[in-house]
Structure 1
């Protein structure tokens, strides 16, 4: 492979592999976890059963944001390795999933490399490796791992990762093709819902509101209550000028799923439309920032952006620098750059904004951040990048504060 992904022939219905964490979320289904628990009870000396339980607990932790599940997964993996510590591919891949879930991406990379050496023709190790390399900012290496997944098992897990790589490389049309293949090869409704919601996000990022709505609604058909599908419909509703309806949709969503992204979108929609309320969103986000500062764990970039624009910009820099020690993705680079801008350190901020742009991702928010930083430095490129951001997604203004120098 030279440089960019080759998606290969579009098989009508390739067999889907089990989707590793981060590729095909299950938002309500506890079936895999319950089945794995039952199997460990029936076959307590089966290392594969314990590895399967660990994988199910990791996925459950990701979808419920219950970090305690990761400790259960850790114990299950230790049990699996105690039963078979020599040729236990499933447990090694599981260790990689666990490390990535804990944002220990260097360790995740190590386990991914070990798994791919153990079984070069199995896809799970490459999924672990690709996810770790992305978060470490090693995009060419991530691309190579995804290409290997496509070669071995052209299914939802591979196509979803390929889509992300293509989008970050500035190839949104090819990313849309990859996501459609992820939909077509979905083996479960959860996989289908994930791929449709991602397709909606991609269309939204390009200002294609009608197309985005179609994908979000398909996600909700596949998985009723799909949170990213619901958030997408709220965005579409706001873009059509129905602010009250959009805020009502956000209210129902965050009551059940109070993720930083959804809380921040709701708050910023209020601010951008002149609604001074939003006390509940502010309170929840401020509490999450306090918890993030206290526990020393992974930091959601949306919390960094909230602190930068609505809370304590110095705390945003603190959190962003801490996350940067573990995660060198373009998303964290953008958040760190913006936090630095908000405390007036624009020269340093520009270096991170440029790093966020290095892959060629056509991201309207990144462009807006970069343009604002450049304007603060009296650079002529600033106006051009701000105009490019508005042209790429004219609805972005609904989700950023309107005061000069902020998002």
Structure 2
């Protein structure tokens, strides 16, 4: 029976391995913070077992191409959970061995190449591998998952939706429902997204899949300002997988909203010691007001920025937003212009627009902020960014978007939500850099 996206969800989430590897790229395995995480993070038993089993299979059957592609998939998953991008190199090597043994019609190797390309933000390549896989085997699911993840990052939402619809038809399970939920949320349908995520929970095959779906449900509730409902989902996530990072981060935000700032910061401190993602580090910095209490988190983020500028590679938008707000906005623009060449999603558009605003380039920034709104996502941070840019430009719709941000989720950011309230009480004021540029033109 065909399961239309209108019922189950509406295509595509950057879920699974792609979601977990957005911050990884060439050279990241030498990142001092990532290296700490790779040593400290306890690899889930299922992941470590899968890698060990796959390696033993290749040792026993070295001429089996399927065994080598299976090892590549296990290495990608290990890269996701340990933050060790070196595992992607190991996956590449395994895929080369597989293709050397079977060059033609090697579906598993082609989908594996797509997984690695997407993890490295080589989304155009990911799309090509996904298309190749779906042409090779139109009734197998993995190629559509690769294709959907690439298309969402490239900003082709209709193509992503088509890929997820096909994924739902073939394999109506957690991977498809999670991706469907993201598209529904992104297109302004949070109630339907919640239904899709509940189906992802119910169809979860592992504790990690259940934790992921519950944490995403918590994020969805949080983004609607439903703190109590969000807390229930975050607790279920950590019940499924103790210390599940996204569940822990969600609970830290709940404690912060309830005035338990010290407890929330302590949770973040323990979380980033195991999983130093830019998102978690930046959330801790915002909660701590950028002061001495979060000096270590700021140092970790600054180290990531220095390494990224030196080595290149994919940019986590959370990192760029941190730089725009708490570092050098021009550096954030530099990073996001590079990422925009690789990915044209609404998330990247929003981050680039905000970086430009903070650098005083509001006339250019507003175009990206409007691109970020093109799907109708009820994202409070996006609305705030757009409203602040338009407010600075003196556009009448600016204050409306600021109010919408606070209505959607009054707790969307401990740093920016108070600024939005303050801005609504003020007359529009140009950014100092914008004033200087206009003055220079007059002179």
TM bucket by the smaller chain? over 0.9
Corresponding residue for residue 395 of structure 1 = 411
1:69-99 deviation digits (Å, cap 9, x = unpaired): 0000000000001111111100000011111
For structure 1, the residue ranges without an aligned partner over 5 or more in a row are 10-18
Corresponding residue for residue 397 of structure 2 = 381
Q: 1:34 aligns with which of 49, 52, 55?
A: 52
1:154-209 deviation digits (Å, cap 9, x = unpaired): 00000000001111111100000000000000011111011001111111111111
SS of aligned partner of 1:103: coil
Corresponding residue for residue 206 of structure 1 = 224
Shift of 1:363: 0.2
Shift of 1:397: 3.8
Q: Distance in 1 between matches of 2:6 and 2:407?
A: 29
Corresponding residue for residue 180 of structure 2 = 162
- Does the 8 Å CA contact 2:145/2:163 hold for their aligned counterparts? yes
Q: Distance in 2 between matches of 1:286 and 1:350?
A: 27
- How is 1:283-294 mapped onto 2 (pairs within 5 angstroms)? 283-294=299-310
- How is 1:196-345 mapped onto 2 (pairs within 5 angstroms)? 196-271=214-289, 276-345=292-361
Shift of 1:402: 5.1
Shift of 1:255: 1.2
Q: 1:21 aligns with which of 13, 17, 20?
A: 17
Aligned-residue RMSD, C-alpha: 1.9
1:95-120 deviation digits (Å, cap 9, x = unpaired): 11111011100000000000000100
1:4-57 deviation digits (Å, cap 9, x = unpaired): 823459xxxxxxxxx952479996231211111111111111111100110111
- Does the 8 Å CA contact 1:271/1:401 hold for their aligned counterparts? no
- Does the 8 Å CA contact 1:340/1:349 hold for their aligned counterparts? yes
SS of aligned partner of 1:87: coil
Corresponding residue for residue 15 of structure 1 = none
- Does the 8 Å CA contact 2:380/2:404 hold for their aligned counterparts? yes
Corresponding residue for residue 43 of structure 1 = 61
Q: Distance in 2 between matches of 1:347 and 1:326?
A: 23
1:98-149 deviation digits (Å, cap 9, x = unpaired): 1101110000000000000010001100000000000000000000000000
Report which structure shows greater RCO (CA 8 Å, sep ≥6). Answer: 2
TM-score, length basis structure 1 = 0.93
1:349 aligns with 2:345: no
SS of aligned partner of 1:396: coil
Q: Distance in 2 between matches of 1:366 and 1:253?
A: 26
Shift of 1:279: 1.1
- Does the 8 Å CA contact 1:200/1:216 hold for their aligned counterparts? yes
For structure 2, the residue ranges without an aligned partner over 5 or more in a row are 10-14, 22-41, 424-430, 432-443
- How is 1:66-77 mapped onto 2 (pairs within 5 angstroms)? 66-77=84-95
